[in-house]
Amino acid sequence: MKLENSNNTVEINKQKRDFKIEVVDSEYVLNRWEEIEKILYRVFGDSNFNDNFVRTRPAEHTYKNLTKPDQQGLKHIIALDLDNNILGAFFVIPSYKPEGKEDCDLGWMFTIELLPRFRHEVMNAIIEKVHEVTRNAGFARIITEMGTEAGAKFLCKKHGYIHTPTSDKQNRWTKELN
């Protein structure tokens, strides 16, 4: 598999290798937006979406929160190989808790096409960092929607997210941050 990386094409190894997890600001994501947008359209191309979510939603929602954030203190968690190729990310993570607010919502997560074991390793590391950032901000819980069936299954099974629908929000998931 080949991915574009700035000026040249690099070979991406789909198997286990060293990677790093970084907490980045919106400027970092905007500087790599062309590359990220292509990845988002590619990795969500065959996804089974929940509710009214569609293939364009991950890129649209992320870009909107990069340029006109719904809240202050948004960060993004990104997994990079040692050549700084993007392996995965979780966008729109609150790192600032307004007074009186106990829960937060999250944006979109993904990994590129990796072998399953490595994909889970990368995604687990990203999710652990997401929970660390939101817990350190002082949030007690995450209450969010799941854009895809695969995302809901992964977060439920591996990270304890619980389906907590309400009469007006069937696609509602909760994670207590303890």
The verdict on residue 30 lying in a domain is yes
The answer to whether residue 31 scores a pLDDT higher than 70 is yes
Instruction: Give me the pLDDT at residue 8, please.
Output: 45
Whether residue 115 contacts residue 97, with contact meaning beta carbons closer than 8 Å, is answered with no
Residue pLDDT, tens place only, 51-63: 888 899 999 999 9
Amino acid (1-letter code) at residue 124: N
Asked whether residue 80 is domain-assigned, the answer is: yes
pTM for the model stands at 0.88
Q: Is residue 10 domain-resident? A: no
User: Would you say 50 and 112 are in contact if contact means Cβ atoms under 8 Å apart?
Assistant: no
Domain with 155, as residue range(s), is 18-176
Q: Which of 63, 77, 67, 59 is nearest to 131 (CA)?
A: 77
Total count of domains within the chain: 1
SS3 89: strand
| 135 lies in some domain | yes
User: What letter would DSSP give residue 148?
Assistant: B
Read off the CATH number of the domain in which 121 is found: 3.40.630.30
Helices marked H in the chain: 26-31, 33-43, 57-67, 116-137, 149-159
pLDDT of residue 11: 58
- What digits encode the pLDDT tens for the residues 81-92? 999 999 999 999
pLDDT tens per residue, range 146-159: 999 999 999 999 99
Q: Is the pLDDT of residue 70 over 90?
A: no
| Helix 33-43 with 57-67: angle, nearest 10 deg | 150
Q: Strand pairing of 103-104 and 141-144? A: parallel
- The single-letter DSSP state of residue 8 is E
Between CA 9 and CA 29 the distance in angstroms is 20
1 within domain boundaries: no
